[in-house]
Amino acid sequence: MTQPPPAEIGMPVDKVDTPALLIEMAPFERNLRLMADRARELGVALRPHAKMHKSPEIAALQIALGAAGQCCQKLSEAEVLVEGGTEDVFVSNQVVGVRKIERLVNLANKAKISVCVDDQTNLAELSTAAATQAANLDVLVEIDVGSGRCGVRHSQDAVTLARAIDQSEHLTFAGLQAYHGGAQHIREHTKRRAAIMSAADKVRATKAALDSSGISCSKVTGAGTGSFEFEGETGAWDEFQCGSYAFMDADYGRNLMEDGRNFTTFEQSLFVLATVMSQPEDGLAVIDAGLKAIAVDSGYAVPHDLPDVEYVGASDEHGKLTLGSGTPLLSVGDKIRLVPGHCDPTVNLHDWYVCVRDGVVENVWPIAARGAVF
Amino acid sequence: MTQPPPAEIGMPVDKVDTPALLIEMAPFERNLRLMADRARELGVALRPHAKMHKSPEIAALQIALGAAGQCCQKLSEAEVLVEGGTEDVFVSNQVVGVRKIERLVNLANKAKISVCVDDQTNLAELSTAAATQAANLDVLVEIDVGSGRCGVRHSQDAVTLARAIDQSEHLTFAGLQAYHGGAQHIREHTKRRAAIMSAADKVRATKAALDSSGISCSKVTGAGTGSFEFEGETGAWDEFQCGSYAFMDADYGRNLMEDGRNFTTFEQSLFVLATVMSQPEDGLAVIDAGLKAIAVDSGYAVPHDLPDVEYVGASDEHGKLTLGSGTPLLSVGDKIRLVPGHCDPTVNLHDWYVCVRDGVVENVWPIAARGAVF
């Protein structure tokens, strides 16, 4: 089910077959360095989220710049990362069910693996599996800090779970997972900041409850590309999990900074290259990139460097573009770049990254954990 | 980038790893037979659309029931089908660019291949490539019948293209592509019917224009699961391209039939199996199937046989379910089935079909053309 790569190394980018997922290497590398530097300045470890890039190659670049390891959201992603050479992977999520837990514990015999819990029964299953296979597993308690998704709701529940972890011979309580996903795309700077200040209060309350129960919490991990400066400001987090900063997307670009401008701390480095396949009437072009090439959950893709062109409709294999009066003529066969609305699920639609520098294909990287959903 | 299958043959369905894409074989087979019978009764050939199922196995079942071959939307899908044994594939779309056209013509030396055009330059490139490789290619002219996507807008443009095809030594004018995608999900029966009646007028006008130019049109192909009864009623189509009928989805289920009931001509046979991974508060369950397991372009998935449960939020790897007061208790580890909002892009997220009969895994089929976007 893997497709052949749409490009060869050394090829000019305008010869790349479409739709293709491009990484512009210069801004991509600047993004990687900028985040690594910023985490260091804030005195926080960086463990970027591989659910976004799904690539052991990118994991290795991030780790070479000082990252502590990688996060991922699915056990199958962790398996691909470990297979690709990543030595320290945190599954920032619950791993549920006997079959999955067995795989998790197997993996913990090959690399340093940590995982989240928010449920007693799940924890008991982890404990049994680790004991059976004589594996050691770091377990973090996930607390809900405002997203209302997974995570215990009350600090006393976190204490109960942390204590149970520490009482299990093969498990180690390794801290708190405290990620506020819902805050990442709050547009207004003050409101986004307020959401994280409130999350920090929940973190502090849970740490205090652990402390008064005599349980030591060695780490609080969380934060994303939209909010990490705020988590940094609070001093309540020890580790950042940002992922999208490496590529960016149109949805993050709609966030606002303190000065009211759009979020431009990181540069757009990910693009979908598409071809105009039909130009059936004035003002309309149809491209070969629809729902199966660009995710639409966070809005349509935005044509890059074509200010008067709008992506107005996606069907399975087609995108409809309206061409404003100021648009240079687009003809059948012309290639254009699009900024995806949401990078994570867009990456998951492709098998290959086409890495581009100065208009030439420098590399073709497999998206090795594409489709790693379980 | 291919993931291992989430199931083994003979396994009870409740042991299947999640998220997984299930086909319930009994309703699936009934759907295949019903559509084959209906097309026969209407005196129309059936060429089901493989853009939906992406599977040579399913293509073979449809052809065994009398289908003329397969449609697909992307050249890479056609390559996978031919590799998998399908002998007659119609790319119901434009194939643009020298590199792609070369592949298309290569494929035409291995199987019966047809393709659409709506542009003179593209047609000239096809003609040159076919001549260079001494291949024969059937070419259909795509006409817009109401979707406003690809396809020529005026019958005279169809005549011009058809004539140019016939003048090319290695190309044969094989008819008209006339598919009204926009009509498929018009909810009201009378409005949906009206859209197809209007499409039929465009088909007739184009056929008349071809006729008066002395060009014979051997085939009009189009129609989808939401509208084929209307195309059948008009007598203006010779071939149906329905795809979704085999699986169905929640969006098609929202169409209304003549008697005002929801569209139930075909049965739901495709499901995403998911696991409850967190149940952090009353009334809420979080499942392991989010944006990367179920497409959301046509609305969220609908929990199957759980009337008081609603899928209310999808993030990359999570789905949030609200549990109404009448809901049986859902616990961490419980498995539930979901009806995808839109079958095509959901199928494209998975590597395997888990084929289920009477609660047991009967087969595991590769979704061989998953990710075939170019």
Same domain for A101 and A199? yes
For residue B191, what are the contacts with CB-CB under 8 A and spacing of at least 6? none
Q: What is the mean pLDDT of residues A60-66?
A: 98
- pLDDT-based confidence at residue A22 (cuts at 50, 70, 90): very high
| The predicted structure's pLDDT at residue B102 | 96
Q: Is the pLDDT of residue B328 over 80?
A: no
Chain A residues in contact with B276 (beta carbon < 8 A): 96
| The predicted structure's pLDDT at residue B2 | 78
Give domain status of residue B340, yes or no.
yes
Q: What is the mean pLDDT of residues A330-353?
A: 97
What token pair was written down for B261? 């009931």
Same domain for A119 and A89? yes
Whether B203 and B220 have beta carbons less than 8 Å apart is answered as yes
Q: Is the pLDDT of residue B347 over 90?
A: yes
Give the integer Cα–Cα distance in Å for B219 and B45. 10
Any alpha helices (H) in A110-224, and if so which ranges? 120-132, 155-167, 189-212
Instruction: Select the residue of A345, A351, A367 nearest B292 (Cβ to Cβ).
Output: A345
Chain A residues in contact with B370 (beta carbon < 8 A): 1, 371
Same domain for B152 and B230? yes
Q: pLDDT by residue (tens digit) across B56-93?
A: 999 999 999 999 999 999 999 999 999 999 999 999 99
Give the integer Cα–Cα distance in Å for B117 and B165. 10
Q: Is the pLDDT of residue A2 over 90?
A: no
What token pair was written down for B64? 């065994």
B318–A150 C-beta distance less than 8 A: yes
Q: Is the pLDDT of residue A329 over 80?
A: no
A291–B297 C-beta distance less than 8 A: yes
Give the integer Cα–Cα distance in Å for A127 and A109. 15
Same domain for B132 and B238? yes
CA atoms within 13 A on the CB side of A107: 31
Last residue of a domain, one of B216, B248, B280: B248
Q: Is the pLDDT of residue A1 over 80?
A: no
Stated length of chain B: 374
Cα separations (Å) of A75 from A82, A94, A99, A177, B7? 11, 9, 11, 16, 16
Give domain status of residue B170, yes or no.
yes
Any A CB within 8 A of B299 CB:
no
Same domain for B107 and B135? yes
Q: What is the mean pLDDT of residues B276-304?
A: 97
- Interface contacts A/B by beta carbons within 8 Å: 201
Q: Is the pLDDT of residue A294 over 80?
A: yes
Any A CB within 8 A of B20 CB:
yes
Whether B117 and B143 have beta carbons less than 8 Å apart is answered as no
Percent of chain B with pLDDT over 90: 97
Percent of chain A with pLDDT over 90: 97
Question: Which chain B residue has its CA at the smallest distance from A93's CA?
Answer: B277
Chain A residues in contact with B277 (beta carbon < 8 A): 93-94, 96, 150
Nearest Cα of chain B lies from the Cα of A275 at a distance, in angstroms, of 8
Q: Is the pLDDT of residue A328 over 80?
A: no
Any A CB within 8 A of B297 CB:
yes
Same domain for A320 and A196? no
Q: Which H/E stretch holds residue A171?
A: strand A171-177
Same domain for A206 and A289? no
Cα separations (Å) of B352 from A182, B4, B6, B57, B195? 32, 8, 8, 12, 36
Same domain for A200 and A274? no
Chain B residues in contact with A275 (beta carbon < 8 A): 96-97
Q: Most A CBs within 10 Å: which of B316, B349, B351, B365, as the mutation test of the A interface?
A: B316
Chain B residues in contact with A292 (beta carbon < 8 A): 344-345, 348, 371, 373
Give the integer Cα–Cα distance in Å for A287 and A334. 9
CA atoms within 13 A on the CB side of B185: 16
Cα–chain center distance at A271: 16
Mean pLDDT of chain B: 97
Nearest Cα of chain B lies from the Cα of A367 at a distance, in angstroms, of 7
Kind of pairing between the strands at B270-281 and B20-24: antiparallel
Same domain for A118 and A217? yes
Any A CB within 8 A of B238 CB:
no
| The predicted structure's pLDDT at residue A327 | 73
Q: pLDDT by residue (tens digit) across A197-206?
A: 999 999 999 9
Percent of chain B with pLDDT over 70: 100
Any B CB within 8 A of A192 CB:
no
What token pair was written down for B16? 């299947």
Last residue of a domain, one of A203, A223, A248: A248
Beta-bridge partners for B313: B320
Any A CB within 8 A of B288 CB:
yes
Q: pLDDT by residue (tens digit) across B302-324?
A: 999 998 999 999 999 999 999 99
Give the integer Cα–Cα distance in Å for B239 and B46. 6
Instruction: Select the residue of A15, A313, A348 nearest B292 (Cβ to Cβ).
Output: A348
B278–A317 C-beta distance less than 8 A: no
Give domain status of residue A321, yes or no.
yes
Q: pLDDT by residue (tens digit) across B156-176?
A: 999 999 999 999 999 999 999
Any B CB within 8 A of A74 CB:
yes
Q: Which H/E stretch holds residue B364?
A: strand B360-366
Give domain status of residue B27, yes or no.
no
H helix and E strand count, chain A:
11, 17
Q: What is the mean pLDDT of residues A126-151?
A: 97
Query: What CATH number is given to the structural domain containing A168?
Result: 3.20.20.10
Give domain status of residue B327, yes or no.
yes
pTM: 0.97
Same domain for B52 and B185? yes
Q: Which 112-151 residues of chain B touch chain A by CB within 8 A?
A: 118-119, 121-122, 144, 148-151
B122–A280 C-beta distance less than 8 A: no
Give domain status of residue A165, yes or no.
yes
Chain B residues in contact with A149 (beta carbon < 8 A): 278, 280, 286, 315, 318, 320
A94–B320 C-beta distance less than 8 A: no
A119–B370 C-beta distance less than 8 A: no
Q: How many domains does chain B have?
A: 2
Same domain for A93 and A153? yes
Q: pLDDT by residue (tens digit) across A260-280?
A: 999 999 999 999 999 999 999
| The predicted structure's pLDDT at residue B184 | 97
Q: Most B CBs within 10 Å: which of A225, A316, A354, as the mutation test of the B interface?
A: A316
Closest CA to A150 of A175, A195, A196, A118: A118
- pLDDT-based confidence at residue A180 (cuts at 50, 70, 90): very high
Give the integer Cα–Cα distance in Å for A72 and A54. 9
| The predicted structure's pLDDT at residue B193 | 98
B291–A297 C-beta distance less than 8 A: yes
A144–B280 C-beta distance less than 8 A: yes
Question: How would DSSP label each residue in B64-117?
Answer: HTT---EEESSHHHHHHHHHTT--EEEEEEE--SHHHHHHHHHHHTTSEEEEEE
What token pair was written down for A215? 């349980």
Any A CB within 8 A of B100 CB:
yes
Q: Which H/E stretch holds residue A234?
A: helix A228-234
A121–B332 C-beta distance less than 8 A: yes
Cα separations (Å) of B251 from B5, B225, B297, B341? 27, 12, 10, 5
Same domain for A87 and A190? yes
Query: What CATH number is given to the structural domain containing A355?
Result: 2.40.37.20
Give the integer Cα–Cα distance in Å for B285 and B275. 10
Domain that holds residue A360: 13-21+265-366
Give domain status of residue B277, yes or no.
yes
| The predicted structure's pLDDT at residue B318 | 98
Residue with tokens 């997307």: A249
Last residue of a domain, one of A214, A248, A282: A248
| The predicted structure's pLDDT at residue B3 | 85
Q: pLDDT by residue (tens digit) across B111-161?
A: 999 999 999 999 999 999 999 999 999 999 999 999 999 999 999 999 999
Q: Is the pLDDT of residue B230 over 80?
A: yes
Give domain status of residue A82, yes or no.
yes
Kind of pairing between the strands at B220-222 and B171-177: parallel
Q: What is the mean pLDDT of residues A88-96?
A: 98
Across A259-268, A327-336, B210-219, least confident range = A327-336
Chain B residues in contact with A315 (beta carbon < 8 A): 149, 181
Cα separations (Å) of B119 from A209, B143, B167, B198? 70, 11, 15, 24
| Interface predicted TM-score of the whole assembly (ipTM), two decimals | 0.96
Percent of chain A with pLDDT over 70: 100
Sheet of B239-240, strand order? B45-46, B239-240, B220-222, B171-177, B137-142, B112-117, B88-94, B70-72
